[in-house]
Amino acid sequence: MLPYYSPLKVAETFSILSALFPDRVDLGIGRAPGADRFTASALLRDRRQPAPDDFPQQLGELLGYVENRMPPGHPMARLAALPGRPYAPDVWLLGSSAQSAIWAAENGLGYVFADFINPEGAAYAAVYRDRFCASGTLAAPRTLVAGWAICAETDEEAQRIASSARMTRALLNEGKFIAVPPIDTALRILAEREPSARPHRTIVGGPSVVKKGIEELASLYGAEEVMIVTITFEHAARRRSYELIAEAFGLS
């Protein structure tokens, strides 16, 4: 969440990580606050006034450091001599809107779309590919889609486990933040509520159902990679979901 940080601080930190773990570090950049307004305010260094909306400038400065794009004569050009060179992280722009797709394309960055937030993003991914400008670090567009998925041994058990996430999401849509509830609590309260009118894509079921859903999601976005978001009440259920998905795709 770049608005909370100094671009130089982010660049230096990820430069060092890239040197310690070559070719294994991704740097995902987001613009959104990522929290409610009270948390967002608490994260600010100066709370006397709202933070400026200067994300494009922040992003440009960050890329100038990380990808050594600082123009000759720029007053901060010398700071691009990062401690981890010649290693650098792969930079991705995270988004859930049309504007993020344009920024990613114009800067020649990989693009990660949050389908679990906005299930209407396939058109934005297409805009990203159409408008992509090759950069010094990325010659062709790279798309990753992040989707909501929960897997269990059976479709019925997966739907039951997913009730905790459904209740959390339903209240989040109303601006209410709660701890992820136990399954029985979630089932009881969901039974008393009207179904949410807001669209929300979920991939829930047994291994074959989830595998098919993930493949369809990747195809919809033209994505080379899929990131899984899994929220459950019990950690063991979340871990088992990942294991079943990995097995379904033949991953060790």
**Digit-coded pLDDT (tens) for 178-202:** 899 999 999 998 888 776 656 688 9
pTM: 0.89
Query: What residue ranges do the domains of the chain occupy?
Result: 1-92, 148-248
> Which whole number is the average pLDDT over 234-251?
97
State the Cα–Cα distance between residues 66 and 127, nearest whole angstrom. 25
Residue 34 has pLDDT above 80, yes or no: no
> CA 251 to CA 17: how far, in whole Å?
26
The whole-number average pLDDT for the span 93-113 is: 96
The predicted structure's pLDDT at residue 199:
64
Quote the CA–CA distance of 112 and 226 in Å, as a whole number.
9
Q: Which residues make beta-bridge pairs with 226?
A: 145
Residue-wise DSSP of 222-239: T-SEEEEE---SSHHHHH
pLDDT of residue 198: 63
As given in the structure block, the two tokens for residue 162 are 């997913």
On whether the CB atoms of residues 103 and 56 are closer than 8 A, the answer is yes
